[in-house]
A and B are shown apart, each in its own frame.
Chain A
């Protein structure tokens, strides 16, 4: 059907998904759930719950936008393991597309938007 062609493009990201992917991008090799949550809180002021972060990470992984690996147990985590995330090429593409759209729409209004 006609709309199938759009499937070749990267999937459209939700607002929170964008924040999470940007978090992974910023943190690079340190992108664990707690760190991503902290980064989002620090930068955007949104205090999101851990389960919401993991639910989103899991969904993004399911869409093959992220991949994950499990680290070794550390004592400051009560001997628990940490899970690290990294962007896949598809993830980077999706983020790029989202940014492109956003930047294109915001172009020329940077001063208006930033004062708000």
Chain B
């Protein structure tokens, strides 16, 4: 068989070359191919491709001189042909200056890559719909508590009785379901593990809109006591616990000593860590009994709902509000002041991330602008170097528009190459980032990926960048004065042409860098302010761990009480332990807010009855956390129903009177049981570190059952080092009792700062990149100016100017635009201070100290970038310079 040349190459050649050439060139190539193929077919093919590519990049010119041939007009749209020719020409020009091209592509890749990475996050977190059917119609419904008695709290959990009334009385909602978290223990090889379950009401899975992958979800009749011993597993739980057994449906599993029948397994895409209830290990029916359904004043459940088509959130809100007003009138004792609010599920999950992410997007946009300025600078220098070429083109008849187009096409080619490299960079950055980013730093972090819309974004960004960076140099190139350029041809980059434009680019770069550096500086100061915030307790050297006693084995409050008493005694006896206590919810971990009634006062309606943070503690918790006892004493093991109040709770409830010895009730728990105040303690920030320390009470009782408690253990040695012995001590007391979340208090506090740390880290990186780009920009412009003015400097030196004069000359040249940029950046900072204010804590968005430090940093960087050109200027030999002219 005779070997054939590569068909694609032949096709490309015959379509790309002008008709008159196609025959001759391709024919020649086929002939030679046949000759070479007799020796080696592979090398012949390689040769053919090489030759074809050369012809494609630089085709022989149109045969204007061969009159004897019939010349047909070139095929295709002339504008497209020109564009393609420009692209081909650009490729050749750029390949001829590889270091210039690489520098530009690297800078653009950095800018576009950073933008693409951040946009990937924004796209996933804020723009991409949740992975559920018609997820835009999924909403959460919250209570809104009375503003006066729950200061600062906008959303509250829901009480079952109100939920069932909402469900009955609303029409704009397709369906709504109540749910709660329910912890279980599961026996595993001699010890018990804790698993987190969701207790979901009727309709939950229908509302979310996802069927089971195996088996089924719950039937309506299973949402009632007695028929509720059924369980749906998550994909992850099914894989780890049941080895992905496809016959698992119908089998049973023992959870907290009760037997459940497995009815289904949910698909993997249902599990969404960011939405807690979808991220749990398994689900059971909530199955409230009549008593639980009637609870109206205790708000402990969550509600998810699906709006009917055509009903928007505002309409649903209006309807829920109207229902709430009716319920307030019908049940004032429980509902006075309580409203309801409908919020899209997506907003609930990602709303908090919006501002930081958009600020990061803006910041990374600034990085790109700086990159554009730098690239503009490089292009500008190059365009000046090519003035002769461009002038010749113009002299040969190329119009201004034509030259403009060609330079712009070159920039666009560069930008597209930079964009492609940037997308690769973004993918790598996201992969590396994903391993560093904990899932709780950014919601939906596990879903972040480069998808179609991200690629589109990168493409549009590349084109915009190309236009932005190329427009000014291209415009200037088109406008260049022919005569000048040709005359000056010998000294291609002399003269002062373009210096003003380039100075302006420096001003922009420095100004943008100031803004980025300011953002990074403020975030770092926020972090340090939050780290050193007076939270009211000392988290250092404290180890914490959680247990949750199941009702099946710890039936009475006395048993529960005895367990904790014994557990704390065992832990206290360990070497290295200074003290140990327990609390139901550690600081920063949320907790209960309840109305409190002083002895001798009647309970008011909810909108008037003061509320406090209520924590249950075991003795020595305060000592362990080093929360100061201001008056009175700590609770003791032999107390019954004792209570401590925080300073602000004492002020809120008793004003100037002395609360010690008085008695209070917590009506949500018991309308009759009274606790006696035994002491006043320091205020503690129970919520976020950036929040205020609210009024809190700490109750200690043997009567009430504390199911889940956190041990707090103060150690004299590094806290993690006693973790194994502490866990072993608790296991020795009850081997079947799972011990969860063994971690230090410092780690818990640190975790609340992850979003600030994330922002600080990224802003820091962006600011670093900006600084480098700005200093490179200043350096290159100054070097250019020094070169351009070397004659002048030479004459000055010859006339007796000293080193200091020359240095001053160059420094002034470099520092003037830098200082102007710092001033412009400072104005930008002041304008954007309001936006930054929303992210910072303990420092003002226009903090003068940070701004001063930032300005100084940039001034120093500009100074450093000016040094080398200044040094070069000093070293100029006047004789040589003047002779060269």
**Cβ–Cβ contact A68 & B66, under 8 A:** yes
Cβ–Cβ < 8 Å partners of B51 in chain A: 49-51
Contacts of A74 in B (CB 8 A): 27
Is the CB–CB distance between A82 and B27 below 8 Å? yes
Within 8 A of A (CB), among B27-50: 27-32, 34
Taking a contact as CB atoms under 8 Å apart, the answer to whether A80 and B69 are in contact is no
Given A69-B68, A80-B23, residue A34 in contact with residue B61 (CB < 8 A): no
A83 at the interface (CB under 8 A from B): yes
Complex alpha-carbon distance, A77 and B24, angstroms:
9
* Interface-located stretch among B52-60, B140-148, B204-212: B52-60
User: How far is B27's CA from A33's CA once the two chains are assembled, in angstroms?
Assistant: 10
What's the least CB distance linking A42 to chain B, in Å? 12
CB neighbours (8 Å) of A81 from chain B are 23-24, 27
- A54 near B68 with CB under 8 A, answer no
Q: Taking A33-B24, A50-B29, A62-B64 as contacts, is the C-beta distance between A70 and B54 under 8 angstroms?
A: no
Chain A residues in the interface with B (C-beta under 8 A): 32-34, 37-38, 49-51, 54-55, 58-59, 61-62, 64, 68-70, 73-74, 76-78, 80-83
Among the interface residues B23, B26, B34, which one has the most CB atoms of the partner chain A within 10 A?
B23
CB of A88 to closest CB in B, whole Å:
12
| CB–CB B32/A34 < 8 A | yes
CA distance A59 to B30 in the complex (A): 24
Residues in B neighbouring A70, C-beta threshold 8 A? 68-69
Residue of B nearest to A34 (CB): B28
Known A-B contacts A61-B66, A76-B34; the reply to A50 vs B23 at CB < 8 A is no
Partner of B61, one of A37, A58, A77, A83: A58
Min CB distance B738 to A, Å, is 76
Interface contact B24-A82, CB-CB below 8 Å: yes
Asked if A61 and B27 make an inter-chain contact with CB atoms under 8 angstroms apart, the answer reads no
Determine if B63 is an interface residue (Cβ-Cβ < 8 Å). Answer: yes
Verify A58–B54 contact, CB threshold 8 A. no
CA distance A74 to B23 in the complex (A): 11
The 8 A CB mask of B1-40 against A (1 = contact, 0 = none) is 0000000000000000000010111111111101000000
* B28 pairs with A50, CB closer than 8 A: yes
Nearest Cβ on chain A to B675's Cβ, whole angstroms: 96
- Shortest Cβ distance from residue A11 to the other chain B in the assembled complex, whole angstroms: 14
Q: How far, in whole Å, are A39 and B58 apart by their CA atoms in the complex?
A: 22
The 5 listed contacts between A and B (C-beta, < 8 Å) are A34-B29, A54-B24, A55-B60, A59-B61, A80-B26
Q: Judge whether B65 is part of the interface by a CB distance below 8 angstroms.
A: yes
- Chain B: which residue is nearest A83 at the CB level? B24
For B69, the chain A residues whose CB sits under 8 A away are 70
Tell me if B27 and A78 are in contact (CB < 8 A). yes
Of the candidates B34, B59, B65, the one having the most CB atoms from chain A within 10 angstroms of its own CB is: B65
> Looking at A55, A59, A61, A77, which has the most chain B CB atoms within 10 Å of its CB?
A77
Q: Which of B28, B29, B58 has the most CB of A within 10 A?
A: B28
- Where the two chains meet, the residues of B that have a C-beta atom closer than 8 Å to any C-beta of A are 21, 23-32, 34, 51, 54-55, 58-61, 63-66, 68-69
Tell me whether A51 and B68 are in contact (CB under 8 A): no
Residues of A within 8 A of B66 (CB): 58, 61, 68
CB distance from B384 to the nearest CB of A (A): 30
Given A49-B55, A68-B66, A81-B27, 6 more contacts at CB 8 Å? Answer: A32-B24, A50-B29, A51-B58, A77-B28, A77-B30, A82-B27
Q: Which of B23, B59, B63, B65 contacts A51 (CB 8 A)?
A: B59
A55 to B720, CA, bound (A): 78
Complex Cα distance, B27 from A69, in Å, reads 15
CA distance A32 to B51 in the complex (A): 17
CA distance A54 to B20 in the complex (A): 12
Contact residue among B23, B24, B31, B60 (Cβ-Cβ distance under 8 Å from A76): B31
Partner of B28, one of A37, A61, A64, A69: A37
**A78, B24: Cβ atoms closer than 8 Å:** no
Which residue from B30, B54, B59, B65 sits with its C-beta under 8 Å from A78?
B30
A47 to B846, CA, bound (A): 68
Give complex CA distance A37, B306 in Å.
Answer: 77
A112 to B59, CA, bound (A): 40
Q: Output the nearest chain B residue to A84 by Cβ-Cβ distance.
A: B24
Which 7 A-B residue pairings sit nearest by Cβ, starting from the closest? Answer: A80-B27, A34-B28, A77-B27, A54-B60, A62-B65, A51-B55, A80-B23
Which residues on A sit within 8 Å (CB–CB) of B54? 49-51
| Max chain A C-beta neighbours (<10 A), residue from B21, B24, B25 | B24
Closest to A55 in B: B60
Q: A50-B55, A61-B66 are in contact. Are A80 and B60 (CB under 8 A)?
A: no
Q: How far is the CB of B335 from chain A (nearest CB, A)?
A: 86
CA distance A33 to B59 in the complex (A): 14
Minimum distance in angstroms from A31 CB to a CB of chain B = 12
In the bound assembly, the distance between CA atoms of A27 and B645 in angstroms comes to 111
Closest A-chain residue to B62, C-beta based?
Answer: A58
Task: For the complex formed, measure the closest distance between the CB of A20 and the CB atoms of chain B, giving whole angstroms.
Answer: 13
A51 to chain B, nearest CB (A): 4
Nearest CB in chain B to that of A60: its residue: B65
Contact partner of A80 among B30, B32, B58, CB < 8 A? B30
Give the residues in chain A near B27, CB-CB below 8 Å: 34, 74, 77-78, 80-82
A80 in contact with B24 (CB, 8 Å): yes
A83 contacts which chain B residues (CB < 8 A)? 23-24
Q: Which residues of the other chain, B, contact A55 by a CB distance below 8 angstroms? A: 58, 60-61
Tell me, in angstroms, the Cα distance from A50 to B33 when the chains sit together. 12
Contacts of B64 in A (CB 8 A): 62
Query: Are A68 and B21 in touch, CB under 8 angstroms?
Result: no
Complex Cα spacing A81 to B55, Å: 18
Q: Is the CB of A34 within 8 A of B31?
A: yes
Say whether B26 contacts A78, CB under 8 Å: yes
Distance from B519 Cβ to chain A, minimum over Cβ atoms (Å): 53
A103 to chain B, nearest CB (A): 30
Task: Check if A51 sits within 8 Å of B34, measured CB to CB.
Answer: no
Q: How far is the CA of A37 from the CA of B24 in the complex (A)?
A: 13
The answer to whether B65 touches A77 (Cβ under 8 A) is no
CA A33 to CA B17, docked complex, whole Å: 16
Q: B residues within 8 A CB of A64?
A: 65
Q: How far is the CA of A80 from the CA of B28 in the complex (A)?
A: 9
Question: Which residues of A lie under 8 Å from residue B21 when comparing CB positions?
Answer: 54
How far apart are the CA atoms of A76 and B69 in the complex, in Å?
23
- Distance, CA A49 to CA B25, complexed state (A): 11
Please measure, in the bound complex, the distance between the C-alpha atom of A24 and the C-alpha atom of B773, giving whole angstroms.
56
Residues in B whose Cβ lies below 8 Å from that of A50:
25, 28-29, 51, 54-55
| Residue of B whose beta carbon sits closest to that of A80 | B27
Distance of A62 from chain B, by nearest CB (Å): 4
Chain A contacts for B68, CB-based, 8 A: 68-70
Q: Tell me whether A51 and B25 are in contact in the complex, defined as CB-CB below 8 angstroms, given that A34-B32, A61-B65 are known contacts.
A: yes
Contact present for A77 and B60 (CB under 8 Å)? no
CB distance from A63 to the nearest CB of B (A): 8
List the A side residues contacting B65 at CB < 8 Å: 58, 61-62, 64
Question: Bound complex: CA of A26 vs CA of B31, how far in Å?
Answer: 20
Residues of A within 8 A of B24 (CB): 32-33, 54, 80-83
Chain A CB within 10 Å, residue with most, of B25, B51, B68: B25
CB-nearest residue of chain A to B5:
A78
Within the assembled complex, what's the spacing in Å between the Cα atoms of A69 and B31?
19
Residues of B within 8 A of A54 (CB): 21, 24-25, 60
B4 and chain A: residue at smallest CB distance: A78
Q: In the bound complex, what is the Cα–Cα distance between A59 and B34 (angstroms)? A: 28
Q: How far is the CA of A51 from the CA of B51 in the complex (A)?
A: 8
Please, which residue of chain A has its CB at the minimum distance from the CB of B57? Answer: A51
- Once A58-B65, A62-B65, A68-B66 are accepted as A-B contacts, the answer to whether A33 and B55 lie under 8 Å apart by CB is no
A70 to B66, CA, bound (A): 10
Q: How far is the CA of A100 from the CA of B588 in the complex (A)?
A: 97
Distance in Å from the Cβ of B553 to the closest Cβ of chain A?
A: 87
B485 to nearest A CB, angstroms?
A: 23
CA distance A50 to B531 in the complex (A): 71
Most buried by B among A38, A50, A61, A68: A50
Question: Which residue of chain A has the shortest Cβ distance to B54 in the bound complex?
Answer: A49
